[in-house]
Structure 1
């Protein structure tokens, strides 16, 4: 994991980077599918198709979505430290799921991911509504942090009323996990992500203009406040679609855009988006692989390993800045 982040932090020529990234993705995906399969052929077939394939699909799609969302946020706010966690989306999803479990609301278990998705969308909507269209990027970040903190406080209050027997159910929505995901979870996520792909591509030219600064962008005819809110709204929907079935995948939205910029140094968001999505998918798949096998037979939270990615990336960035 540390080696992946360290290598991604080094400037690499464009041509060799593509096959290396594709090979890394293929290798991580292959290990996810075959590592630790049962010896019995029939049992292995069921495990592979019913558990491993949807888990891999969600790791790839979820990581790609969060990586792209991170790039949208960092570009729209012109801040390399921006990440989806500041939009209130992850906390909103966790709060909705916790409320259903703790208060024993009459919601079937199969529908709980949909409730978490709705809560995540509401959390992002509250943040964007509080920020408004006329705010600058710094104000949006501060408001997002304040809204996320407020939602976190409400979440802690709800958890204080939880019974210990409910902690296992709440675990996924607090730290993030791909354990137990099925095709139903993949079917919940896929339509949202497919709907966001063309919208993100359409919004990417405006992101390049936003990088010039608010005054320059306005002089070029761009409605700065509206364009920023559209980009942040797309980021919120991308993250919400992942929070519903998987819980929060922390730090990937921060790390993936930086890795993309190192291997594809360009200001054009249209070129950076596929790279950020690819790195998000790679980091999430590798983190899930580590979560399943490092302490086997016990499974550790996915969020613990994605946090490790963020820590390593932060240290690498600090070291580079210190040398410069």
Structure 2
């Protein structure tokens, strides 16, 4: 973890310095404005987005005992994005925007998935049902995008792919409010998550009702997703990548709290690094952050799977 901390420090410094122009030590007033009013809030939103999505994925995977139970495949992220996109497309103004529609959409999408998977026990069945709900949410988002004019379509498409473009300090106001609610909720729900990880029978014997507990966990995960999907869009697969990597780095030595902390740290590092690449790799063209995080998750997943298979073959 020490080496990862050093990497994180380097990534943060590069995120503040690199771009057009490159600014290592802000000296002029323009450089101060560029770094502290544009790059710094974008960096902070990326870190919060990665941490929240990573922890949301960890909660869902642990409570459902399914490594494929991520926000993207349970309708949570898709529902949040569809709700925000629909409000933007039709000019609907709501109190607390965009946090309120994102939270409602996340709860609806995740709730529909939970209702649909009742009685399904295999991971494949849960995955297929969740993917169907997510596809339906994406269809709503695409329909809303098609209903807008050409200027707004570009904005919504970028949002659908996940983007930190245009982040300023006022953008972080609703995010701070959401975090003030989400962090205590995660702490309160952790004991339930620990029992659900042991199985339904153990949870029942400890006096916990698994169904209600999973609904509570889903509500907390939905809040975490809504906090960041509103301003940043559905940044893909952070909820899968960060918990898996945290599990490998802390295997056998992590408590629930340290597991959450490690997942949040790795998720934040992933999104901040992806945004750095998105801003600078093909400047002035900006790549979608969600596309880069999805690519990273798939690449690392294939690498880990390949190493696991080669290890098994070698053992034989």
**Same structural fold, with TM-score higher than 0.5 when normalized by the shorter chain:** yes
1:214-293 to 2 correspondences below 5 Å: 214-266=200-252, 268-293=255-280
Q: Cα distance, 1:202 vs. partner?
A: 2.2
Rounded Cα–Cα distance in structure 2 between residues aligned with 1:119 and 1:181: 19
Q: Against the structure 1 CA distance between its residues 168 and 127, is the aligned structure 2 distance closer, same or farther, given a 3 Å change threshold?
A: closer
For the pair 1:65 / 2:52, whether they are aligned, the reply is yes
Out of 124, 135, 138, the position equivalent to 1:149 is: 135
How many residues end up aligned between the 2 structures?
Answer: 302
Cα contact 2:79–2:105 (8 A) shared by 1: yes
Q: Cα distance, 1:143 vs. partner?
A: 4.4
The corresponding residue for 1:36 is 19
Rounded Cα–Cα distance in structure 1 between residues aligned with 2:110 and 2:283: 41
1:73-152 to 2 correspondences below 5 Å: 73-103=60-90, 105=91, 107=93, 114-130=96-112, 131-132=114-115, 142-152=128-138
Cα contact 2:46–2:271 (8 A) shared by 1: yes
Rounded Cα–Cα distance in structure 1 between residues aligned with 2:105 and 2:119: 18
Cα contact 2:106–2:225 (8 A) shared by 1: no
The corresponding residue for 1:307 is 294
For structure 1, which segment, 250-259 or 133-142, has the greater mean C-alpha deviation from structure 2 after superposition? 133-142
The corresponding residue for 1:170 is 156
Rounded Cα–Cα distance in structure 1 between residues aligned with 2:87 and 2:108: 20
| TM-score, with structure 1 as normaliser | 0.85
Rounded Cα–Cα distance in structure 1 between residues aligned with 2:81 and 2:71: 14
Cα contact 1:89–1:121 (8 A) shared by 2: no
Aligned to 2:66, the other structure's residue is in SS state coil
Q: Against the structure 1 CA distance between its residues 93 and 220, is the aligned structure 2 distance closer, same or farther, given a 3 Å change threshold?
A: closer
Aligned to 1:174, the other structure's residue is in SS state helix
Q: Cα distance, 1:80 vs. partner?
A: 1.2
Q: Against the structure 1 CA distance between its residues 200 and 279, is the aligned structure 2 distance closer, same or farther, given a 3 Å change threshold?
A: same
Out of 146, 160, 170, the position equivalent to 1:184 is: 170
Q: Against the structure 1 CA distance between its residues 178 and 27, is the aligned structure 2 distance closer, same or farther, given a 3 Å change threshold?
A: same
The corresponding residue for 2:42 is 55
Rounded Cα–Cα distance in structure 2 between residues aligned with 1:128 and 1:37: 41
Q: Against the structure 1 CA distance between its residues 320 and 207, is the aligned structure 2 distance closer, same or farther, given a 3 Å change threshold?
A: farther
Cα contact 2:84–2:102 (8 A) shared by 1: no
Rounded Cα–Cα distance in structure 1 between residues aligned with 2:220 and 2:102: 13
Rounded Cα–Cα distance in structure 1 between residues aligned with 2:73 and 2:19: 37
Stretches of structure 1 that go unaligned for 5 or more consecutive residues are 1-16
Stretches of structure 2 that go unaligned for 5 or more consecutive residues are none
Rounded Cα–Cα distance in structure 2 between residues aligned with 1:147 and 1:117: 21
Q: Cα distance, 1:252 vs. partner?
A: 0.7
| TM-score, with structure 2 as normaliser | 0.87
Residues 9-65 of structure 1, C-alpha deviations (whole Å, 9 max, x = no match)? xxxxxxxx2x21221111111111112364671111001111011011101111111
Residues 42-100 of structure 1, C-alpha deviations (whole Å, 9 max, x = no match)? 11100111101101110111111111111111101111122111232322333233333
Q: Cα distance, 1:144 vs. partner?
A: 3.4
Aligned to 1:211, the other structure's residue is in SS state helix
Rounded Cα–Cα distance in structure 2 between residues aligned with 1:106 and 1:70: 30
Q: Cα distance, 1:177 vs. partner?
A: 0.6
Rounded Cα–Cα distance in structure 2 between residues aligned with 1:26 and 1:37: 21
